[in-house]
Amino acid sequence: MNPPSVYNGYNPRWYRPRVSTYWWLWQWAYLKFILRELSSVFVAYFVVLTLLQLHALRQGPEAYAAFQEWLKTLWVLALNAVSLVFVLFHTITWFNLAPRAIVVRLRGKRMPDQWVSGSNYVAWLVVSVVAAWLVLRG
């Protein structure tokens, strides 16, 4: 039997559903957002890895060779491959979102979104080419 109702026009009884802990699972856009947030962990991991590499370099040739050997182990290779995918995902999704936050106006007209995201990609390419040249020039 239903409990006696106290509902009336001055005493409404609202229905307030709880938000599920897994709200992000049932829609791709939300899942993509969570993955984008998660990708920050992998960005941080690459930063730490680079710092460790510099530390090994500072310790001398033997320490650096040992560090490079460690990098070649299977589980580190697998971790770095997964991290690379997440870092690329992080970069591309944020570059694509940049035009929403940065509005560029030229002679009163808003520049197309592609200009803002495109400039980010161009800067990425230039920095990558310079970094590759510095590392690979011998």
- Cα-based angle 61, 67, 69 (whole degrees, multiple of 5): 105
Please tell me whether residue 135 binds another protein under the rule CB under 8 A: no
3-state class of 109 per DSSP? Answer: strand
Which residues from 34-93 bind another protein, rule CB under 8 A? 37
- Residue 12 as a binder of another protein (CB under 8 A): the answer is yes
- Among residues 34 and 47, whose Cβ is nearest to another protein? 34
Which CB, 16 or 137, lies closer to another protein? 16
Contact 110, 103 (CB under 8 A): yes
For residue 8, what are the β-bridge partners?
Answer: 11
- Gap between the Cα atoms of 20 and 35, Å rounded: 18
Q: How many residues does the chain have?
A: 138
Q: Residue 105 has what DSSP assignment?
A: E
Residue 107 DSSP SS3 = coil
Task: Please report how close the Cβ of residue 57 comes to another protein at its closest, in angstroms.
Answer: 35
Q: Please, which residue, 81 or 101, has the CB nearer to another protein?
A: 101
Q: Which of 5, 48, 62, 74 binds another protein (CB under 8 A)?
A: 5
Q: Which is nearer to another protein, 25 or 129 (CB)?
A: 25
Give the interface with another protein as residue ranges (CB under 8 A).
Answer: 2, 5, 7, 12-17, 19, 23-24, 26-27, 29-30, 33, 37, 97, 100-103, 105, 108-110
